[in-house]
Homo-oligomer: A and B are copies of this chain.
Amino acid sequence: MVLKNRFSLNQMTVANLTLPQAIESCVRHGVASIGLWRHRIEEVGLSAAVKFIKDSGLHVSSVCRGGMFPDPSASGRDARIDDNFRAIDQAAALEADSLVLVVGAGPSIPLPDARQMVVEGLARIAPYAQAAGVRLALEPLHPMYAGDRSVLNTIDQALALAIPFDPMTVGIILDTFHIWWDPALDAAIARCTGRVAGFHVCDWLVPLPDVLMGRGLMGEGVIEIARIRQMVDDAGYEGPIEVEIFNQSLWDTPSDEVMRKVIDSFIAHV
């Protein structure tokens, strides 16, 4: 049982709403925090986005997303770094708790090489983030995304990447969907103490309807979300908990109904 005041709406849960629509929906449903996506920020422009947020009084729990470091060419990797600088600027202007990093993958790049490109990319952007006062948040993604979205796939791997940096410069996002299967989950979360930059929740449906768009509302699947939330609490994280659900049928549902469902399932199952 967790209080509604820790609830944050990750904008991807209501993917069809524009930034002002998502903000308006949060305010109307008594939600205090929001996780923003850059394509929706860029649609209205950064200054307008900052104004919408300020006027609403909402807290920005994260900006999604930077990262995507691996690229076959040096110039391609440079372009990714420039894009991360822009993302850091956006997170700074919006006073977000963190910039989520989905580190990327290159289907044509051998896995060990792609992982080395992530090490190098992180080292290139960390000083810029520190100067901007933005916390970078490495998000390990489920191993089923290692071929096309993220070569960062376990909490321990994220910790190894983060440890060279100050915890307020490079933290870790824990997402139940991505980490729940880990045989060493309890110990790995405990090792994150002081590094947890955010916590995302959704559920794992059985059978899994789709690799990307098949995530479930909390309580619909097999993840022991409340147990994991307690472990994350014990690791010292007291911030907002984002509900981030990629699910086509949810996206096809009217957003007021989605808001009621996610808030209810948050209160019942997180």
Contacts and interface: CB of A to CB of B under 8 A. Distances in A.
Given A143-B143, A183-B156, A206 B111 contact: no
Interface in A99-118: 107, 110-111, 115
A206 B143 contact: no
A144 B208 contact: yes
Contacts of A204: 147
Contact of A153 (B110, B148, B181): B181
Please list the 6 inter-chain residue pairs (A to B) with the smallest Cβ-Cβ separation, ordered nearest first. A146-B181, A143-B181, A157-B183, A147-B206, A144-B144, A107-B206
A187 interface: no
Contacts of A164: none
A189 to B, nearest CB: 14
A204 B181 CA distance: 20
28 contacts: A107-B206, A107-B222, A110-B224, A111-B180, A111-B222, A111-B224, A142-B144, A143-B144, A143-B182, A144-B144, A144-B181, A144-B208, A144-B211, A146-B180, A147-B181, A147-B204, A147-B206, A147-B207, A147-B208, A147-B221, A148-B206, A148-B207, A153-B181, A153-B182, A153-B183, A154-B183, A208-B211, A211-B211
Interface string A144-168: 1011100001101100000000000
A185 to B, nearest CB: 9
A207 B224 CA distance: 28
A224 B180 CA distance: 27
A106 to B, nearest CB: 9
A181 B140 CA distance: 12
- Residue among A146, A153, A208 with most chain B CB within 10 A: A146
Interface of A: 107, 110-111, 115, 142-144, 146-148, 153-154, 156-157, 180-183, 204-208, 211, 221-222, 224, 227
Nearest to A106: B222
A242 to B, nearest CB: 22
Contacts of A110: 224, 227
Nearest to A224: B110
Nearest to A158: B183
Contacts of A142: 143-144
A205 B143 CA distance: 14
Nearest to A186: B112
Contacts of A183: 115, 153-154, 156-157
Contacts of A227: 110
